[in-house]
């Protein structure tokens, strides 16, 4: 089961009106306890296949398919070259407000697996600082998205996308450009 621990905590904090005697720090342990009791936060998918299976029922998860006018071998090659070039990066974020300070270091890791009839691009996201994971995570971090490419005909390839329905549109758009051969640019991972 894939679950959005962070979204649940944010929803609880943002939607709860704090009374004079109630402290915000009491809300977080309550939500965390609920998630642990229900088992929601305990099971990050450990493989790309587990991730694919979990996405259709995940909060804010999306599975989508489309066809590009590009031969399979070109799509596979673009996944390999652009994935390594654009998605194997470490990004630092700093956020300051009058009420808080946050410093995150996030490592993105692409994995490309190519066989005769399928090319897979897995993107994993590991927050190296600033985030505590409530359970064991896969090596290289939780899966963020998976793209599968399969040949339809000589010059057409089907792309299956598994991942969040929003928030990472810049990555999805870049991978779609690589798959279609229309844009080989890298996404701005600082967004």
Burial of 47 (0-12, 13-18, 19+ CB in 10 A): exposed
Check residues 7 and 130 and name the one with the higher pLDDT.
130
Check residues 151 and 102 and name the one with the higher pLDDT.
151
Task: Give 154's DSSP letter.
Answer: T
Cβ within 8 Å of residue 91, ≥6 positions away: 105, 106, 107, 108, 189, 190
- Per residue in 18-65, pLDDT tens? 333 333 333 344 444 344 433 444 589 999 999 999 999 999 999 999
Q: In order of start, what are the domains of the chain with their CATH numbers? A: 1-43 (no CATH), 46-180 (3.30.530)
- Which pTM does this prediction carry? 0.77
Check residues 110 and 100 and name the one with the higher pLDDT.
110
Burial of 89 (0-12, 13-18, 19+ CB in 10 A): middle
């Amino acid at each position: 089961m894939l679950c959005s621990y962070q979204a649940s905590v944010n929803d609880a904090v943002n939607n709860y009106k704090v009374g004079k005697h109630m402290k915000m720090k009491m809300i977080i342990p309550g939500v965390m306890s609920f998630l642990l009791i229900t088992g929601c936060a305990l099971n990050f998918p450990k493989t790309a296949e587990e991730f694919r299976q979990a996405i259709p029922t995940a909060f804010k998860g999306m599975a989508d398919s489309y066809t590009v006018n590009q031969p399979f071998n070109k799509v596979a090659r673009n996944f390999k070259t652009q994935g390594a070039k654009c998605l194997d990066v470490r990004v630092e974020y700093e956020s300051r407000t009058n009420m808080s300070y946050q410093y995150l270091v996030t490592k993105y890791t692409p994995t490309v697996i190519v066989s005769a009839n399928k090319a897979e691009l897995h993107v994993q996201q590991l927050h190296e600082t600033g985030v505590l994971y409530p359970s064991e995570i896969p090596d290289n971090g939780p899966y963020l998205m998976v793209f599968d490419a399969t040949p339809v005909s000589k010059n057409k390839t089907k792309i299956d996308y598994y991942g969040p329905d929003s928030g990472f549109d810049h990555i999805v758009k870049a991978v779609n450009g690589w798959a279609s051969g229309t844009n080989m640019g890298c996404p701005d991972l600082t967004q």
